[in-house]
Structures are given as structure tokens and as C-alpha cells.
Amino acid sequence: MHRYRPLVLALGLAVGAAAVSVMAQRPPADLILSNGKIATVDEAFRFAQAVAVRGDRIVAVGSNQDVESWVGPGTRRIDLAGRTVVPGLIDNHLHLMRAGTNWPWEVRWDGVGQRSAALDLLRAKAKTTPAGEWIYILGGWTIDQFADDARPFTREELDRVAPDHPVLLQASYFRSYLNSRAAAILGVDTPTGVVEESGIRALVPGLPVATGERLETGTRQMLEYLNRAGVTSVGSAACEPEVMPVYRKLAATSHLDVRVFCITGFAPGTPQQVDDVLPRIAKMKLFDGDSLINTVAYGETVYGPLHDPMFVPTSRPQPDQLAQWRRVAEAVASAGLTLHVHANLAPTIGAFLDQIEAVNGEHPIGRLRWTLAHVNQIQPSHLARMKRMGMFAAVHPWAVINGGINQDVFGAAAADMAPLKTIQESGVPWGLGSDGSRANQIRPFVTLAWAVTGKMVGGRTVLRQPVSRQEALVAHTRSNAFVLFQESQLGSIETGKLADLVVLDRDYFSVPADQIKDIRSVLTVAGGRIAFDGR
């Protein structure tokens, strides 16, 4: 046998030389992150030390040694020093483009648990805003999130905080607080400066909305805010045509660091409008964009009268309304389109499933990933029906900020809005989103904290059925990639996928659960580019 050793050695040397030759010919990585705790969030949910990126793609994931062969003269190397890395967070339902039109005047109270801190942010905004200009907040917060002081704001208090500006603070879709200047401009005759839910929508048209250069600036600031929060992809509920050119310009100039997957439709509100939109649905095309901007679903409203408000105890879908809803749904299925529909209250969810089952009998939807969105009152019987049809649940937990209001409106049932453990155990694929920026806050780690601890912003326990950290993270990454038809591109840190990564300031998997809400990105990578660097 010894006579074969030279041949074996020669063959080994030849193979080794070939491997070296291939590595020499292979282009090196542009970016390497090493010495970290990298949660791949793939099916095996592994942890690696290092990841290599070339262009906009991940080219290697493994140990520090595994990735070392990708180093070249121009490779940028970042030592993670043990920090945790997760895939870029995906919000499956955010009113993205509308948010940018308001951003120049907005103060955001996402995740702010102290009233005093919220007022400090308002004062800071007043100092940097020219006298006479509006300052407002259109949702994303409620009084109940302030653990130190949950008193309503008074007109006099807001006058003192911002005496030179009109101020309107809209708490979710529940109540608004105005100072004297704002009340006078909007013609609101109330001594307290408080406007209840029924009057909120009438106020919004009186507020400034960004256009032109200010729209582009506001949009860029809003997208940077999302990158700082770890968001790199969004299912955009409505992609307003007047705003879309801004996003296309950002994409064309390599400045779009949040991927936009449009959920858009026609939202008819009368039978005549349904007649008008049916031929338009038949001509609608999905997936004609790219990995930065694309249209992936029809929605979110199928028929306007059946769009559940947020804070009503129950719904009563009527047969004539459901008949119109079904006409639209049949057209969507016949065209082979994905449906993503607002469905929150139990009677609405059940009625919609009745119609979908009928549609499915004529036009099978199993491969189209039809989705019920919000689903705060979803029940086990609903989930069983959804599973049989291959549907998806897009969970938008309004309780993250609205938990106190939910308890007032729905009583003990609010503790199961949404029943996360039941959804997780049902076998129905599901993902987390926000439905921000008005109905809810928009920071994903605040949502993840609610999912894991059951606590809303401010610390009140509002959820009876939390899930594990791993299950929650999958729901905000890999599962959302699936519902947006991006599972081959996004949602996990794997070779060949787009390089959307977030480096965290603390370890999501080991910090005390009450600290999850405070996690920040120190580095956000979107498509291989540094989108945010807070190191």
C-alpha cells in the first residue's frame, strides 16, 4: 500500500493548488463582519461568528476562519466585538409613503414610556421649528403608554410647551389634543382642546402635507428613522402615486435603504364603484418591479363599508355588503392576484372567510398567499379554516400602544388581542407588522417586546399569550419575507440572499425581557450598503 502514497500526496497537492487558484480568481468580499453572534434565522436557526458581503449579496456565513478567505485588499472589515446580528427587520404592513408626507412636522413618541420624556421631545421640536409653523403627531402613541403620568394633555399645558406654534397631538385614532393656536386655525371650539375619535379625521385635512423638495427631505428622514430602528423592508399599505416618484428617485440614485413592497388596490365604497374597479383588477399586474420597489398584493380594503374601525366593540357585516366584497375578491382570485385585507373583529373575520371559501371553490387560492391583516380577534376556528386554504396571518398588535383603550372597550377579551400562542400553534404562517404610523408605533423591537413579555409601552400587561423570543423574531423576519414573496431573497442571513443585516446594541436573546423594547441598531446594512452607522 505504501507505493500509492506519492500518488495520493500528488493528488492532494493538486486539489489544494486548484482550490487556492479558485480563491485567487474569486473576487474578494466588499464587507466582512466578524467576531460576532450572528443569528441566521434560517430554518435551523443557527448562530455564526462572521458574514461576508460582496455587492448586495451575502457570499459566506460561518466562523471567522471560514470567512477569512474572502478578505482582499479593498475589503472593509468590521469587528463586531461579540455583538449580536440579526436579519434586517421586515414590517409586513406599514403606511409608509403617507408617513413621509407628514414627517417634517411630526414628533415621534414610538416606544416613549414616560410623559416627561415625551414633553421634552415636543419642546425640542419647538426650539428647532420656525415660529408659527405646525408641530403635530398623527398617531403612534396613546396616553396609557406613559407610566409616570397618564393625565390627558390640556390646552394650557400645550400652550406653555410650544407658545409660538400650533400643536395637535393625535393619540392613535382615539383622541386628539390641541393647543390654543391649533384650535383657532382649525376652528375647533372646545375649552379643553380635546377632540374625540369621531372628529379626528375632519382635522387632518387642515394640517400641512409635504410636497416637492420638502417631501423628499421628509421621506429620507423617515426612512433613516426606520433604518435606525432596524427596519430594512416594508409591506407598504398603499403606495400613493404622488409619492412614488420620490422613492423611484431615491432608488435610482442608490439612496433607498428600505425595500418597498406595495399592497395597493382601489377600495370601492359603493356597488357602482365596484362595477368600475372590476375591469381594472383584471388588468392589474404584480411583481413587475425589483428588489427595491415592487407590488406584491391587492389590498388592504376590499369594500369600504366592511373596513373595521379600531375601537368598536363588534361588527355586523350585512349580506348586501358581503355580496359586493365577494365580487371584488372573485376578481382578485380570477386574476391570480394575492389579497391582503384588513380584518380585525371576529364577526368580520368569520364573514370574510365565508366569502373566501366560496371564492376558493371556483378559483383556488392555495398558492396565492391570501392574507388577513390585523386579526386582533382571530379565533381557533378561523385559523383552522385559514390553514385549510393556505392563508397567512399578518398580525398588527394595536395593543402595543392601545392596550389600555382595548381593555376599556373590549374588557377581559382584550388580553387575547391578538392570541399569539394560539396563532403560533395553529400551523398558519404568520408575521408581525405595525399598521403604523398612525394606528400604532413603528419600532420593531417595541413590537417584539410586547410579543415576548405581553406588556405594552409603559409596562402594563395587556397580552395573555406571549411567544418565545425566537418565534417572535422569525415572525418579524423570515415569515414576513414569505408573505411578501421574498423568501429566496430576504428574512435570514444565508449565502446568496440580499445583505440586509442589523447589528444590535445588546443581545436580543439574553438581555432581561423588559429590555428588549430598548434595543437599538448600532449598524444597519441594506443591500450591502451601510444605511445607518451609530457606533
Q: Give the C-alpha distances (Å, rounded to integers) separating 181 from 134, 188, 189, 201, 425.
A: 9, 10, 12, 19, 52
Amino acid in the structure at residue 190: T
Task: Quote the distance between the C-alpha of residue 461 and its chain's center.
Answer: 22
- Summarize pLDDT for 461-475 with one digit per residue, the tens: 999 999 999 999 999
- Summarize pLDDT for 65-77 with one digit per residue, the tens: 999 999 999 999 9
> Helix count (H) and strand count (E) of the chain?
18, 22
Question: Are the C-beta atoms of 344 and 374 separated by less than 8 Å?
Answer: yes
Length of the chain: 535
Contacts of 139 (CB under 8 A, 6+ apart): 170, 171, 172, 173, 436, 437, 438, 439, 440
Cα separation, 471 vs 75, in Å, equals: 34
- Average pLDDT of the segment spanning 394-401: 97
- Average pLDDT of the segment spanning 14-39: 75
β-sheet bridge partners, residue 498: 57
Cell of 229: 430602528
- Average pLDDT of the segment spanning 2-8: 41
Q: Which domains does the chain have, with CATH numbers?
A: 2-82 (2.30.40.10), 97-206 (3.10.310.70)
Cell of 410: 373590549
pLDDT over 70 percentage in the chain: 96
- Average pLDDT of the segment spanning 343-364: 98
**Candidate from 47-56, 117-126, 153-162, 192-201 with smallest mean pLDDT:** 192-201
- Summarize pLDDT for 95-134 with one digit per residue, the tens: 999 999 999 999 999 999 999 999 999 999 999 999 999 9
- pLDDT the model gives residue 3: 42
- pLDDT the model gives residue 24: 54
Cα separation, 32 vs 41, in Å, equals: 19
- Whether residue 14 is predicted with pLDDT greater than 60 in this model: the reply is no
23: confidence class by pLDDT, cuts 50, 70, 90: low
8: confidence class by pLDDT, cuts 50, 70, 90: very low
Percent helix, strand and coil across the chain, each to the nearest 5? 40, 20, 40
- pLDDT the model gives residue 90: 98
- Whether residue 6 is predicted with pLDDT greater than 90 in this model: the reply is no
For residue 353, give the nearest of 321, 326, 313 by alpha carbon: 326
- pLDDT the model gives residue 10: 43
Cell of 421: 400562542
pLDDT over 90 percentage in the chain: 93
Question: Are the C-beta atoms of 97 and 239 separated by less than 8 Å?
Answer: yes
β-sheet bridge partners, residue 455: 461
- pLDDT the model gives residue 17: 44
- pLDDT the model gives residue 2: 43
